[in-house]
Structure 1
Amino acid sequence: MNNPFLSIRDLKVHFSTEDGVVKAVDGLSFDLAKGRTLGIVGESGSGKSVTNLAVLGLHDREHTALDGEILLDGKELLTATERELERLRGNKMSMIFQDALASLSPYHTIGAQIGETYRKHTGASRREARARAVDMLRRVGIPMPDVRVDDYPHQFSGGMRQRAMIAMALVCDPELLIADEPTTALDVTVQAQIMDLLKELQQEFGTAIVFITHDLGVIADIADDVLVMYGGRCVEQGSKKEVLRDPQHPYTLGLLGSMPSLHGPVDVPLSPIPGSPPSLLNPPSGCRFHPRCAFMEKVDGGRCTSLQPVLEVVDGRGTACHLAPGQRRELFADFATARAL
């Protein structure tokens, strides 16, 4: 990718605890260009949110070991000072959190909270900030924004609060937007509205978006590219079409097999992945997915249990698996590409 706006190289985020070191992210790399959306998918505890909190510089550095490289428009973030990060947060990069009600202050109006961000980064007056807040609420589809701007978070529905969060995140026209499962608590209709809104705003602002989710249906709707995380590492990456229609890692195959299809018979049983995600305090040796993998015995020499697979990336398509490409084609042949959304 030429001149990526966000570039992460060999990122490691390790937490010190009383029981030992938690390797929450353990060697992650990816690029993201302006105007594109990267969907990061994986089960809870795979390292999705931890990665993006590192981008924003929101980890407690006293108890967190950060290593690697995070470049935002050429600026290294891991070595940036807190003052430098404060200038970037909300301005050049911003985040939409999963729980809008918990993220908004119950003691201040929606307009005051949106306006505060705008004033901090632009030096605008209170009147200018209020006008900007009204404009942003209008742009995210909140009716009567000149009235609702003076309402408190509890006076908004869940979908409207999430729209207000999006307005706050975009008030300073950030070039990078991180959305951390922003539709998880919403019903399907509101989810679709929020997804359409993000796509419209991206077209308007040219924003680079990192969209974190465990829902492959959401990924199919909004992402251009997909990165699949498991146990703090990337196991597969590529374009949305490549990853969802032609999965190359057993974990990705398992995720797709555990979700209902919109095509074909409705009585096709789901195939959940057996077992549980690994402990990142004491992860399995070799491939971290091997205790749950249905194809481990197909690899010669016990490499799955002893040797960590390397993520091999060719033309943006990457897989970290000991199965040879020919083996994957043969073993995954029963996967019906038509069910891939």
Structure 2
Amino acid sequence: MTSTDQQPFLSVKDLKVHFSTEDGTVKAVDGLSFDLTRGKTLGIVGESGSGKSVTNLTILGLHHPDHTTVEGSITLDGQELNGAPERTLEKLRGNKMAMIFQDALASLSPYHTIGTQIGEVYRKHTGASKREARARAIEMLKRVGIPQPDSRVDEYPHQFSGGMRQRAMIAMALVCDPELLIADEPTTALDVTVQAQIMDLLKDLQQEFGTSIVFITHDLGVIADIADEVLVMYGGRCVERGTKQEVLRAPQHPYTWGLLSSMPSLEGPVDVPLNPIPGSPPSLLNPPSGCRFHPRCAFAGSVDGDRCATERPLLQIVNGRGSACHLTDSQRTEFLADLAASKVH
């Protein structure tokens, strides 16, 4: 996913994240690998329970070690994070890497003002005084478009609208100018107008700071707007990778076809019915054998034998492009043509 002359800023190799529960072991992430170039945006897309958020919480080291087993390698700017001491991760969190959480109201403390919470992050990592931290909080609120930041810095989260709380979360995440920003569905609960404003804000801040962004979402429309590269996850695994143009215009995996087919088209007739993916995502306590998508896949019967049910398809990456599927290239071409025709007619 990166050019040969540019080393990845974030590199995840064969990541496995398992949780121990009373019912058994949850294989939340199972052999995930990807790279992110400095200053670029990677969009991670998939249904709820696919392992998107777990992956990025693991990068930040936010899982309880007593109940979580993490295998594989996570390197940030050449520094290994998996197995690093908690003190090392604490210095990196908020300073070199930060996260925007999905629910700003639940993530912000109701007992402290917005300015206090933003300033606390800045003081922890820079040793600044309370006065300096307050000035920095006002500066960041102004930068993310909060009106009257001099007075609103002393207000509480419940006094902010949903869009303003999300902007405050972005200000908190960026207060120490992190080089990696992880955004976990930051626009899901917002109306489309505010969503567009937040997206524009993230793109502007990325240009200003040169930040690398991992953007987690289930919305392919958002991915089309912000991502440079796309990673599609299903059942804790990556099923497809490529540039935004490659994945959205020429998808190679039946799951990605299903995601795109379930979205309305602006080019075809308005009365064309949407095609939702049948069934539900798999339980990661007891995931399906072989390809984890095969119980819901309309094309599993096109593969010779029972390979889809018994043999895990390998993710073959060539020049950053690949998909994990047993279908042949000719079958993909044929099925894609049929899908494109159904969208138009």
Q: TM-score, normalised by structure 1?
A: 0.98
Q: Identity, % of aligned pairs?
A: 79
Question: Which residue, out of 306, 310, 313, partners 2:317?
Answer: 313
For 1:154, the equivalent position in structure 2 comes to 158
User: What is the one-letter code of the residue matched to 2:251?
Assistant: P
1:247 maps to: 251
For residue 101 of structure 2, what is the aligned residue in structure 1?
Answer: 97
User: Quick one: which of 311, 336, 339 aligns to 1:332?
Assistant: 336
Secondary structure at 2:27 match in 1: strand
* Matching residue of 2:116: 112
Deviation >4 Å, runs of 4+: 337-340
1:170 correspondence with 2:177: no
* CA distance in structure 2 between the partners assigned to 1:17 and 1:167 by the alignment: 36
Question: C-alpha offsets along residues 71-96 of structure 1, whole Å, 9 cap, x if unaligned?
Answer: 00011101111100000000000000
Q: Which residue of 1 aligns with 2:282?
A: 278
1:48 matched to which residue of 2? 52
When the two structures are aligned, how many residues end up with a matched partner?
Answer: 340
Q: Tell me, yes or no, if the aligned pair for 1:90 and 1:117 is still in contact at 8 Å.
A: yes
Q: Which residue of 1 aligns with 2:37?
A: 33
- Aligned counterpart, 1:127: 131
Shift of 1:262: 2.3
Q: 1:233 corresponds to which residue?
A: 237
- 1:293 is aligned, of 294, 297, 300, to 297
Kindly state the Cα deviation for residue 263 of structure 1 after the two structures are TM-superposed. 2.1
| Residue in 1 that maps onto 2:9 | 5
Cα distance change, pair 37–262 in 1 and its aligned pair in 2 (3 A): same
Question: Whole-Å Cα distance in 2 between the matches of residues 337 and 122 of structure 1?
Answer: 57
Contact in 2 for aligned 1:112/1:130 (Cα 8 Å): yes
1:34 Cα shift? 1.1
Return the alpha-carbon distance in structure 2 between the equivalents of residues 301 and 337 of structure 1.
Answer: 28
Contact 2:272-2:343 at 8 Å conserved across structures: no
Deviation at residue 252 of structure 1 after TM alignment? 0.1
Partner of 1:209: 213
Among 85, 88, 99, the residue aligned to 1:81: 85
Residue 208 of structure 1 and its aligned partner are, at CA, apart by 0.4
Deviation at 1:331, TM superposition (A): 1.5
Task: Give the Cα–Cα distance (whole angstroms) in 2 for the partners of residues 165 and 213 of structure 1.
Answer: 17
Q: Describe the SS at the equivalent of 2:132.
A: helix
Distance in 1 between residues matched to 2:131 and 2:235, nearest whole Å? 48
What SS does the corresponding residue of 2:151 show, helix, strand or coil? helix
Deviates more, 1:257-266 or 1:65-74: 257-266
Match of 2:338, SS? coil
- In structure 2, how many angstroms separate the alpha carbons of the residues matched to 1:168 and 1:198? 13
Distance in 2 (CA, whole Å) between partners of 1:33 and 1:192 is 24
Label 1:338 to 1:146 Cα distance change in 2 as closer, same or farther (>3 A).
Answer: farther
Secondary structure, aligned partner of 2:202: helix
CA RMSD of aligned residues (A): 1.2
Q: 1:257 aligns with which of 242, 256, 261?
A: 261
Equivalence for 1:136: 140
* Cα drift, residue 338 of structure 1: 12
CA distance, structure 2, for counterparts of residue 159 and residue 338 of structure 1: 38
Of 261-270 and 24-33, deviating more is: 261-270
Which structure 1 segments of 5+ residues have no match?
A: none
Query: Cα distance, 1:339 vs. partner?
Result: 7.1
- Secondary structure at 2:257's aligned position in 1? helix
Deviation at 1:335, TM superposition (A): 2.8
The answer for unaligned runs of 5 or more in structure 2 is none
Look up the match of 2:64.
60
Query: Per-residue CA shift, 1:73-126, capped at 9, x if unaligned?
Result: 011101111100000000000000000000000111000000000000001111
